[in-house]
Structure 1
Amino acid sequence: MGGLFGKQAMTYQHQANVLIIGGGLSGTMLAAQLLRLPGQRRILIIEPRAELGRGEAYSAVELGHTLNGNAARMSVDPDNPDDLTQWLTAHIAAGGWPESAEQDVPVNELFPPRGLFGAYVQQRLAEARAVGALQGSTVEHIRAEVVDLQIDSGSVQLTLSDGQRLQGSQTVLATGMFPAARTPQTQSSGLNAAALDPWDVAAMRELDPQSTVLIIGSGLTMVDAVVSLEQAGHRGPIEVFSRHGLLPHVRRQPPAWVDFLGDDHSLRTPRQLLRELRRQCQVAITQGIDWQAPLDTVRVHIARLWSQATDQQRRQFVRHVRPCWESHHHRSPPLSAALVERLYKEGRLRIQAASFKGLEPSPDGGVRIRIRRRGESESCVVQGAALINSSGIEYDWRRVARPLPQQVLARGLVQPGPLALGIAAAVDGAVLDAEGCAADRLFAMGPPLRGMWWESTAVTDVALQAKALAVRLAG
């Protein structure tokens, strides 16, 4: 620990072995893994929310906002893929979540509410706390936002929004996701100021139930917004605008399929992968098997494929393949997908391929937006009673108008990741500074590493990263 607890450290309110910035899924799972490792360490998690383990994704309180993966896919224990299934089985048997009977499927095929998943994560942290206590390890929640970070040869120093200063031997950026609907932007269009939160059912109850609601974006956040509107009692038209006009497919439970990428490492480029994936899906269809079966085998190879691709290949994927990939890969939970399909068939929900061009003055109330439909050269104005920003996640830290991302970029402590997705890091999670040098005290995990591994947000990805990084930090 060197000079961590020396005279200089006396000016700090807290000192720790590990400082974890962010207490959502990433930070909580990292803390749980550290607590279970041999050794005595003090861990501080800095998270402005009242509860750990929830973050943006799992703070939802409505039962209709469910995981987009079934229980068998969402274990936080990388050594036990059935961990969530086992927890749910016990929870339901004890009288919890009685609404699960409505899904009428085995427990491993259930799509739990996101709020319930947050409770599961919290319980696993509590169990890890008990294990850590036996060897003198502790974790403490500091409820504040980190607004600045500095590094010297002996420690990392954090400045918090409440004026506190913390010092630690190692620090981890586990900041999670920055939803576009809730994240201040450095180049703001004013959209968020005029838009409703996609998950704010209470605010939606204030709308005229028959009014027209406009939604920007057609991915999984849009699906959540439609669920919110339905639960708020909205019964009017919903107009959805997105650049490509693609909806997420419904997630089904396909049978196992041969791991064709594991058998053939000659498939390296995005073009080769797509060509073979289409062929595999067509083979499945001709055999009467769900096309999602071959697609689901790709998941475990995404990090390898993305990391070995050239920058040009990555750009080609993001520009030409990403919309189709995300609508097929990031699929909607069945109950939510059924609602979207019903509203679409009823004519209440319309999907239009159009680009958002900005807000327009609306002197007579409601909101007016300017859009340009695909294939048209001129833009037009559309009006509704309310607007929802469902444009997904902001991964470019340069565009996130929060103090910490702006400060670490300005100080040169981090650099943007490939294609400006998150931040750059070494394979072991050590953050790369502006000169490309790997830090020995600053690490990252989860969504900030989107540019490194492409899929760095799913529960299984985060759980694996947490286990590996905990070993690295403890070592």
Structure 2
Amino acid sequence: MSQTADAVFRHADILIIGGGLSGTLLAAQLLRLPGRRQILIIEPRAELGRGEAYSAVELGHTLNGNAARMSVDPDNADDLTHWLTAHIAAGGWPESDQQHVPISELFPPRGLFGVYVQQRLTEARQVGAANGSTVEHVRAEVVDVQLTVDSVLLTLSDGQHLQGSQAVLATGMFPAARTPQKQSSGLNAAALDPWDVAAMRKLDPQSTVLIIGSGLTMVDAVVSLEQAGHRGPIEVFSRHGLLPHVRRQPPAWADFLAEDHSIRSPRELLRELRRQCRDASAQGVDWQAPLDTVRAHIGRLWNQATDVQRRQFVRHVRPWWESHHHRSPPLSAKLVERLHAQGRLRIQAASYKGLEPPSMDGVSIRIRRRGETETCVVQGAALINSSGIEYDWRRVARPLPQQLLARGLVQPGPLALGIAAAVDGAVLDTNGQAASRLFAMGPPLRGMWWESTAVTDVAAQAKALAARLVR
């Protein structure tokens, strides 16, 4: 590989590409480990620790897990609960009393969660400073990565060049609503951002809004519309017409997967899980109790499944898994339930087939309702793309994913979910060779572990990867 002769490379020990939750938690873990090291986090946003998920500013956009489930400290499940207790006692988040539950059961606003992550990074900086370790935020986007025998070279959007001994792809999620597609249908250009309340305030309050997708992003979009003062019809279209269940606080249930290691395939898991849920219901226990014990085992089960089994799961089970497992926070779920009962919000099982030519009256889309062969056109004043996360890097029209794929430094993960990596996070190139200096964590490893986006998953990965990097 050749370098331009006049390129000036700034050096660091570890380069973290992405400063959302993943990159920030990794930096915090590295700072807390003994030793002296210089860390650079390359993130185009003004603040670290927020990323796509926690940059929300509206109080109504809350976490979809309660405080007891969302600690960023893998060794202390009550860390967020303790932080919230002190924060509320100091006068922060006065609206918390509207949820009428103990602090451990609160669903904090996502913006406030970002503050919590930032404070934990600040504390880690102080620990690192005692050892001579530093972390610096470089505000730019990484547009290219090159590997040499002894280093990783980064090219940034502002023309800077960075060189490090190791680099980590902590790129986070690519929300479909905000991600340019390599083969664009023009959907995002015609659609409103699901979290842009200011843009929604410009709509006629009584107008019809169309939403594609019925998962948690749709729930956020409905909250945004409500806060913008929208009072008109909302038409939601998704392939299966499934809504996320509301997240409740079920009692403890025996960890049946820890007790029975004979369960190895997704089909066996579903069969046993249904039996456990029936047993719970027969005992008057919430069916969410046995389901919640499964999370700790998902990575193992998914990783040991065959490609055929994974494909069957994604094709036949995924919609129901998502609606049951990725549940809606109670306040948001109540809003969706109320609008549905009023007839203002309708959920239709239908596939999105494309945009129609624009008109002065708003936006039109072509859909095919489930069970029908013919398509039809539906019109509204505005359209929102709530189709979730884009995990296939081949479709993401951003410089870094495209360059990594073009250089052969990464390959698509199982079922094209994220990228392939070894168990320790070392990325696999197109030849299946594990890199010695380039690693990944968080959402890019969706194909490896299936559940690789939740806070607890990312926190555990950050701790393990930090230990791997400093060895």
- TM-score normalised by the chain length of structure 1: 0.98
Aligned to 1:101: 97
Change (3 A) 1:9 1:473: farther
Q: 1:387 aligns with which of 350, 368, 383?
A: 383
Alignment of 1:434 onto 2:430 = yes
Pairing 1:252–2:240 present? no
Distance 1:32 1:9 in 2: 35
2:197 matches 1:222: no
Report the alpha carbon displacement of residue 55 of structure 1 after superposing the two structures with TM. 0.1
- 1:232 paired to 2:228: yes
Counterpart of 1:336, as a letter, is: S
Instruction: Tell me what 1:128 maps to.
Output: 124
CA distance in 2, matches of 1:89, 1:285: 34
Matched, 1:267 2:293: no
1:428 is matched by which residue type in structure 2?
Answer: D
Native 8 Å contact 1:15 1:166 kept in 2: yes
| 2:112 paired with 1:116 | yes
Q: Could you tell me which runs of 5 or more consecutive residues in structure 1 were left unpaired when the two chains were aligned.
A: 1-6
| Residue number in structure 2 paired with 1:55 | 51
SS of aligned partner of 2:168: strand
1:455 aligns with 2:448: no
Residue 398 of structure 1, aligned match among 383, 387, 394:
394
Provide Cα deviations, 1:178-217, integer angstroms capped at 9, x if missing partner.
0000000011110000000000000000000000000000
Partner of 2:328: 332
Kept after mapping to 2: 8 A contact 1:9/1:167 = no
Alpha-carbon distance in structure 2 between the residues aligned to 1:173 and 1:12: 22
Q: Report the CA distance between 1:340 and its aligned residue.
A: 0.1
Match of 1:17 among 13, 20, 34: 13
| 2:292 is equivalent to residue 296 of structure 1 | yes
Paired amino acid for 1:449: L
- Equivalent residue, structure 2, for 1:3: none
Aligned to 2:73: 77
Q: How does 1:356-367 map to 2 (within 5 A)?
A: 356-367=352-363
- The answer to whether structure 1 residue 323 and structure 2 residue 323 are counterparts is no
Contact in 2 for aligned 1:226/1:340 (Cα 8 Å): yes
Amino acid at match of 1:399: R
Residues of 2 paired with 1:347 and 1:403: CA distance? 44
Name the residue aligned to 1:36. Answer: 32
- Distance in 2, matches of 1:129 and 1:11, equals 30
How many residues were matched structurally? 469
Cα distance between partner residues in 2 of 1:192 and 1:42: 39
User: What TM-score, normalized by structure 2, do the two folds share?
Assistant: 0.99
Residue of structure 1 aligned with 2:151, choices 148, 155, 158: 155
Map of 1:171 onto structure 2: 167
C-alpha contact (below 8 Å) 1:155/1:168 kept by paired residues: yes
Q: What is aligned with 1:465? A: 461
TM-superposed CA distance for 1:11, in Å, is: 4.1
Which of 368, 386, 390 is residue 364 of structure 2 equivalent to? 368
Q: Which runs of 4+ in 1 moved over 6 A?
A: 7-10
CA RMSD between the two structures = 1.1
Aligned residue type for 1:435: N
Does residue 345 of structure 1 match 2:341? yes
Change (3 A) 1:8 1:214: closer
Secondary structure at the aligned position of 1:134 is classed as helix
Instruction: Using the TM superposition, give the Cα deviation of residue 12 of structure 1 relative to its aligned residue in structure 2, in angstroms.
Output: 3.0
Change (3 A) 1:9 1:266: farther
| Equivalent residue letter for 1:450 | R
Query: Which residue type is aligned with residue 41 of structure 1?
Result: R
| SS of residue matched to 1:375 | coil
Identify which of 333, 336, 351 aligns with 1:355. Answer: 351
Amino acid at match of 2:242: L
Query: Matched residue of 1:439: which SS?
Result: strand
Deviation of 1:365 after TM superposition, in Å, equals: 2.8
How many Å apart are 1:361 and its aligned residue? Answer: 1.1
Q: Which of 414, 429, 450 is matched with 1:418 structurally?
A: 414
